[in-house]
Structure 1
């Protein structure tokens, strides 16, 4: 008898192993416990309110980087997996939004990934965003899927998601 486990959102490197007449399929690059796989990457939600700069440090401690959303599919998956449907479903709005790992600190209006300084190509801004109110140079993802520019300062603490390949 052949038993197959579905390879949903796992990496493409599948290894087979025979054991007592059973054939197992598994991924040697699957995510660690507490991490969620999607499209060859692993994601971890902190469920802790921290500043944008501290989210970078925390993700680096995990061998990861702050969330880099590069497609509408990834954006929707992040919302469906980690965020509530509406901000009204949260006791504290800051748990209903997460940092995105990009900034326009180097050149105002040009957002780049902090990990590699590449310019963003997918930018699902909310209405009137980015508005750069009071020097907002960072990005947060809202439950609606829209991006909002946000203050990067240590006093602005929201939730975060780490990503790794």
Structure 2
């Protein structure tokens, strides 16, 4: 116990004063939690984006748990009055919140986000980083684009990851029916193909079987005999499609 207490004391020396970013440094990394008042008082649309709830916790302890003891923590919501701490798997955005982006009487939490968990332009979720490319390209072009970014084309490993991808990138904040009129509208590439097998789809990066996402109604159907790639549709389902079609891209890295 003495070793743990000493560790906490050492870490607290690196925590800056209230109102400035919380910063922990070492010879190996620099990690910062910075406050974004735009999302003060917000709550995540999907409660599964909350990694941990802690009560009767100081803000310093909340910060330490996020930066040191939880590799999946991307941000926190801390309520000074209730002394409650919520560790989040992702950064909040307009697409991911249920409430307007200002304080509400029901939630007075301050929002702090890890600023250097991913490079600029990349979005964190559960210890992975994602890059969204809005331009629609073919499957081969998507593979090349992600490799050039030292990453790989999206591989989906859980229903929660799929929900986050859809909420964050596939669905517009408003006007879904107008902007995505068909069931296959607002789709994006995943990294799965059946090029090397006739019975199942394989992730191109990890060379493992595709388990997620679930198939859409009537899929896979290999319509036209050339549907060897997989798109993720806005209803969170998989659709086998021709690899020469054009969809938006998400690159992923660990």
Do they superpose with TM above 0.5? yes
1:12 aligns with 2:99: no
| Partner SS for 1:60 | helix
- 1:162 aligned onto 2:251: yes
Deviation at 1:116, TM superposition (A): 2.7
- For structure 1, the residue ranges without an aligned partner over 5 or more in a row are 15-24
- Greater relative contact order (Cα < 8 A, sep 6+): 1
When Rg is computed on C-alpha atoms for both structures, the one with the higher figure is 2
TM-score (norm 1): 0.79
Residues 29, 121 of structure 1: CA spacing in aligned structure 2 closer, same or farther, 3 A cutoff? farther
- Residues 40 and 69 (structure 1), Cα distance of their counterparts in 2 relative to 1, 3 Å cut: same
Superposition TM-score, scaled by structure 2 size: 0.53
State how far apart, in whole Å, the 2-side matches of 1:42 and 1:56 are. Answer: 17
Change (3 A) 1:117 1:162: same
| 1:124-143 map, 5 Å | 124-134=214-224, 135-143=226-234
Matched, 1:116 2:206: yes
Residue 106 of structure 1, CA deviation: 1.2
* Cα distance change of structure 1 residues 7 and 107 upon mapping to structure 2, 3 Å threshold: same
Q: Is this contact kept in 1: 2:153–2:250, CA < 8 A?
A: yes
Tell me, yes or no, if the aligned pair for 1:95 and 1:159 is still in contact at 8 Å: no
Aligned alpha-carbon RMSD (Å)? 3.0
Would the aligned equivalents of 1:87 and 1:96 in 2 still touch at CA under 8 Å? Answer: no
Report the Cα offset of residue 50 of structure 1.
0.4
Structure 2 stretches lacking a partner, 5+ long: 1-16, 19-58, 74-111
Shift of 1:117: 1.7
Pairs aligned (count): 151
Q: Which structure has the highest helix share of the two?
A: 2
TM superposition shift of 1:120: 1.7
Contact 2:159 2:213 in 1 (8 A): no
Aligned to 1:73: 160
